[in-house]
Structure 1
Amino acid sequence: MFNTPNVSFEFFPPKDKEGEANLLRTVSCLEAYRPSFASVTYGAGGSTREGTSRIIKRLAEESTLTPAAHLTCVGATREEINEIVRAWQAAGIKHIVALRGDAPAGAEKYQPHPNGYANAAELTAGLRKMGDFEISVGAYPDVHPDSPSVAADLENLKRKIDEGANRAITQYFFEADTFLRFRDLCTKAGINVPIVPGILPIIKFKTVLHFSKSCGAVIPKWIVDLFDGLDEDPETSQLVAAATASDLCMKLMTEGVEDFHFYTLNRSQLTSAICRRLGRRPHNAKCNLSNS
């Protein structure tokens, strides 16, 4: 028998009022599962900076969630980033997900701002100087697409941990062995903070294919075959997605994994189903899942 795992959720800033209303419905569904925290993403080049700050503050003021704000190094000076952090501090935000960030649209590759933080390790060090934050950083079981090797990727992760990060949250993956091999490599590299698996419930497979090309996540052939044609059959797709993600989590639980971070894509139904399958029961749920 397994212990009930801890869960956390990721949301993204919506583009319009309708999207924001949908997000708040999703939040009211998922907060019933009492997550450890809920993170809000930060677009390439700081493109969602204002939206991230607004949603983070709404979560802090209007929900029971503990919000975690994503922050990237892209397109900003150190002082500009520090100013954002000070505003979050004033709003009571104590958890930051520190990321290098992707190159903005139209750029061939990431270039650090000449007066900015060069990477997530520098950003983590800067945050440690500014306050007693809870700091999460990214990790890549399939290797970050900009890394020249597995060894270089692990060295970069260790630098982030050595600068004071409390945990690493992984990019999504689809096979338990992918995570377990990565966890073993982290242990051998002297990385001794929690490595939290990131789980992506598949809402639309074509969207996952697009994401994976840019982030370097490997999609095994059996997943491709399993979801072939299901974008035109959303009900069956949801059943298959819930079963696939639940099976992945349960395999990881047999190997001692106790924490999962779900990339919700601002939808609640699949994540709710998976949480229930893992033994997390909702408390005071306030939603109609068919509408979220």
Structure 2
Amino acid sequence: MTIPTVSFEFFPPKSLEGSFRLWDCVNTLAPLDPNFVSVTYGAGGTTRQLTHEAVTTLHKATGLNVAAHLTCVNATKAETLEIAQSYIDAGVSEVVALRGDAPKGSHAFVAHPQGFDSSVALIEALASLDAFNIRVGAYPEKHPEATDQAADIAYLKRKIDAGATSAITQFFFEAETFFRFRDACIKEGIDAPIIPGILPIENWGGTQRFAQQCGTHIPQVVQDAFENAMRDGTTELLATAIATELCDDLLQGGVEQLHFYTLNRPELTRDVCHALGVTPKVRLQNVA
């Protein structure tokens, strides 16, 4: 079996307890030698400063290749580019450029009057700085706001043409979902790498809510399996098995990179990586 290249997504801490959890997550997963790690941006830009602090601290303290999420929400163009310049000054050369989710309580994205009105505009501005490797999001199943998947794919091509170098997908539950999407992207002339996003199921209720929000289909067999596992107290074993099988199917289909949404809870992700042959290679030196 091909041993994949892996990457991990974290979110910035909002409390002292959250800070300890983030560092525990980093200490657990960094030895697996990720290609990069990313730090998310809260809905409505609510964690802008926290994200900046987490990115720069991780970069400085660990030497990991850290990708900062940047969005178009609740910021002027000047403010967004000022943040981008601060990353350049800190030696951070990776960004994940996203339109961003609307603030809580809002039903749709509304651009700031002096802000970027789309992810394409943001990508073009970041690309003009000639300082970043720019990754973007992709939806293997139709984005809730898109008219159809063809429109999704056409928009992804616009993002790649604007300067993005790769895409990371939203999570999904069946390998065929990714393969159909990958093939459709190739057919439309997208030749940038598309990295499947994997969500090990830490919390079944939370995963169901995430899936509903982003239009991810949950197969009936997965629903039934988790209902049984919750009764039997075996949800962790089931979650590890489901994620490992999904990853193995993807690798068998030619995938070489996997991106894990860790939710700052590293154990399941670590166990899945170990099952795939991704074993510790490095040890952190500078984490306090």
Q: TM-score, normalised by structure 1?
A: 0.94
CA contact (8 A) 1:72 1:101 kept: yes
Are residue 251 (structure 1) and residue 249 (structure 2) matched? yes
CA contact (8 A) 2:135 2:167 kept: yes
Q: How far is 1:217 from its partner?
A: 1.2
Tell me, what secondary structure is at the counterpart of 2:244? helix
Matched with 1:217 is: 216
Q: How far is 1:233 from its partner?
A: 6.0
Matched with 2:144 is: 145
Q: How far is 1:284 from its partner?
A: 4.9
Q: How far is 1:3 from its partner?
A: 2.5
Q: How far is 1:122 from its partner?
A: 0.9
Matched with 1:191 is: 190
Q: Equivalences for 1:31-50 in 2 at 5 Å? A: 31-50=30-49
CA contact (8 A) 1:11 1:264 kept: yes
Q: Distance in 2 between matches of 1:176 and 1:125?
A: 32
User: Does the C-alpha gap of structure 1 residues 283 and 45 become closer, same or farther in structure 2, counting only changes over 3 Å?
Assistant: same
Q: TM-score, normalised by structure 2?
A: 0.96
User: Does the C-alpha gap of structure 1 residues 22 and 233 become closer, same or farther in structure 2, counting only changes over 3 Å?
Assistant: farther
Q: Distance in 1 between matches of 2:59 and 2:283?
A: 18
Q: Deviations over 1:248-277 (max 9, x none)?
A: 011111110000000001011111111111
Q: Distance in 2 between matches of 1:81 and 1:131?
A: 16
Give the partner amino acid of 1:260: L
User: Does the C-alpha gap of structure 1 residues 256 and 89 become closer, same or farther in structure 2, counting only changes over 3 Å?
Assistant: same
Q: Distance in 2 between matches of 1:285 and 1:107?
A: 43
Structure 2: gaps (5+ residues): none
1:274 to 269, 272, 275: 272
Q: Distance in 2 between matches of 1:229 and 1:269?
A: 22
Q: Deviations over 1:196-234 (max 9, x none)?
A: 000000001000011111111111111111111545766
Matched with 1:58 is: 57
Matched with 2:117 is: 118
Tell me, what secondary structure is at the counterpart of 1:228? helix
Give the partner amino acid of 1:158: K
Tell me, what secondary structure is at the counterpart of 2:38? strand
Give the partner amino acid of 1:191: I
Q: How far is 1:114 from its partner?
A: 2.1
Q: How far is 1:132 from its partner?
A: 2.4
Q: How far is 1:143 from its partner?
A: 1.2
Q: Deviations over 1:24-49 (max 9, x none)?
A: 01101100000000000001111000
Aligned residues between the structures: 284
Range with greater deviation from structure 2 (275-284 or 89-98):
275-284
Q: Distance in 2 between matches of 1:280 and 1:107?
A: 41
Q: Distance in 1 between matches of 2:133 and 2:65?
A: 11
Q: Distance in 2 between matches of 1:13 and 1:31?
A: 16
CA contact (8 A) 1:168 1:193 kept: yes
CA contact (8 A) 1:172 1:198 kept: yes
CA contact (8 A) 2:33 2:282 kept: no
CA contact (8 A) 1:173 1:198 kept: yes
CA contact (8 A) 2:70 2:97 kept: yes
Matched with 1:238 is: 236
Tell me, what secondary structure is at the counterpart of 1:197? strand
Are residue 78 (structure 1) and residue 94 (structure 2) matched? no
Give the partner amino acid of 1:152: A
Q: Distance in 1 between matches of 2:230 and 2:13?
A: 23
Tell me, what secondary structure is at the counterpart of 2:192? coil
Give the partner amino acid of 1:168: A
Alpha-carbon RMSD: 1.3
CA contact (8 A) 1:135 1:165 kept: yes
Q: How far is 1:116 from its partner?
A: 1.1
CA contact (8 A) 2:37 2:67 kept: yes
Matched with 1:101 is: 100
Tell me, what secondary structure is at the counterpart of 1:109? coil
Are residue 265 (structure 1) and residue 263 (structure 2) matched? yes
User: Does the C-alpha gap of structure 1 residues 13 and 229 become closer, same or farther in structure 2, counting only changes over 3 Å?
Assistant: farther
CA contact (8 A) 1:167 1:195 kept: yes
Q: Which runs of 4+ in 1 moved over 2 A?
A: 229-234, 283-286
